[in-house]
Amino acid sequence: MDILVPYFKAGLENNELCIWITSQPLEVEEAKTSMKRNVPDFDVYLEKGQIEIIPYTSGYLKEGIFDPDRVVNSWVKKINQALARGYDGLRAPGDNRGLGKKAGMDLLIMRIK
């Protein structure tokens, strides 16, 4: 939280689409509560869709299975959507520690502009 909340706050302020896929034990509502405490007008960003907070079970898994090709393709789609919607870039951390050793890196923070 100490890293991700300021990271997303900066992205929102810089007109970037922010995608937060939570990881265990962090839940979506806990992430939203923390953002509301630290980001003025967070509800406005959330309502207009500039930030999406997604549980890891929906972001990385489909029917309980991690498919790296599907995940990469979904990120390409999100980047294209962000640019088409007029955002200046995309911000997203990736934490796949709950997916097992085969998933790759433990933590990845990306910013595409």
pLDDT tens-place string over residues 35-93: 999 999 999 999 999 999 988 777 777 887 878 888 888 889 999 999 999 999 999 88
What local confidence, expressed as pLDDT, does residue 8 receive?
96
- Reported confidence tier of residue 15, pLDDT bands at 50, 70, 90: very high
What local confidence, expressed as pLDDT, does residue 110 receive?
52
One-character DSSP codes across 8-76 = HHHHHHTT-EEEEE--TT--HHHHHHHHHHHSTTHHHHHHTTSEEEE-HHHHTEETTEE-HHHHHHHHH
What local confidence, expressed as pLDDT, does residue 82 receive?
94
Number of domains in the chain: 1
Containing domain of residue 9, as a range? 4-112
What local confidence, expressed as pLDDT, does residue 36 receive?
97
What local confidence, expressed as pLDDT, does residue 21 receive?
87
